[in-house]
Amino acid sequence: MEEKKKIIFSGIQPSGNLTIGNYLGALKNWVKLQDKYDCYFCVVDLHAITVRQQPKDLRRRTLEVLAIYLAAGIDPERNTIFIQSHVPTHCEAAWLLNCFTYVGELSRMTQYKNKSQKYSDSGDPISAGLLNYPVLMAADILLYNADLVPVGKDQTQHIELTRDIAQRFNNIYSPTFTIPEGYIPESGAKVMDLQEPTKKMSKSSGNPNSFILIMDPPEVIRRKINRCVTDSIGKVKYSDDQPGIKNLINILIALQGTTAEEVEKKYENLGYAEFKNDVAEAIVQELKPIQDKVKHYLENKYYLEEIYKKGAEKAHYVSNKVLRKMQKKIGFIPPAR
Residue ranges in contact with ligand AQP by CB under 6 A: 12-13, 15-16, 19, 21-22, 24-26, 151-152, 154-155, 188-191, 200-204
Cβ distance to ligand AQP smaller for residue 190 or 324 = 190
Q: Which of 6, 36, 200, 328 is catalytic?
A: 200
Any known ligand binding at 14?
A: yes
Least spacing, CB of residue 286 vs ligand AQP, in Å: 15
Q: Is 203 annotated as catalytic?
A: yes
Cβ distance to ligand AQP smaller for residue 156 or 239 = 156
Q: Is 115 annotated as catalytic?
A: yes
Q: How far, in Å, CA of 220 to CA of 280, rounded?
A: 10
Least spacing, CB of residue 329 vs ligand AQP, in Å: 29
Any known ligand binding at 180?
A: no
Cβ distance to ligand AQP smaller for residue 73 or 173 = 73
- Name the closest residue to ligand AQP (Cβ): 25
Any known ligand binding at 201?
A: yes
Residue 161's contacts (CB-CB under 8 Å, 6 or more residues apart) are: 101, 105, 106, 109, 134, 138
Burial of 21 (0-12, 13-18, 19+ CB in 10 A): buried
Q: Is 200 annotated as catalytic?
A: yes
Any known ligand binding at 22?
A: yes
Any known ligand binding at 187?
A: no
For the chain, the straight-line distance linking the first and the last C-alpha, in angstroms and rounded, comes to: 37
Least spacing, CB of residue 239 vs ligand AQP, in Å: 20
Any known ligand binding at 278?
A: no
CA angle, 86 as apex, 216 and 291 as ends, to 5°?
15
CB 254 within 8 A of CB 187: yes
Cβ distance to ligand AQP smaller for residue 13 or 101 = 13
Distances (CA, A) of 248 to 185, 187, 240, 280: 17, 12, 12, 9
Cβ distance to ligand AQP smaller for residue 26 or 74 = 26
Phi, psi of 148 (to 5 degrees): -130, 145
Burial of 62 (0-12, 13-18, 19+ CB in 10 A): buried
Q: Order of strands across the sheet with 148-150?
A: 80-83, 38-43, 7-12, 148-150, 181-183
Least spacing, CB of residue 189 vs ligand AQP, in Å: 6
Q: Which of 115, 224, 246, 276 is catalytic?
A: 115
Least spacing, CB of residue 48 vs ligand AQP, in Å: 7
Nearest to 142 by CA among 114, 122, 162: 162
Instruction: Provide the annotated active-site residues.
Output: 115, 200, 203
Binding residues for ATP: 13-15, 21-22, 152-154, 191, 200-204
Binding residues: 13-15, 21-22, 140, 152-154, 191, 200-204
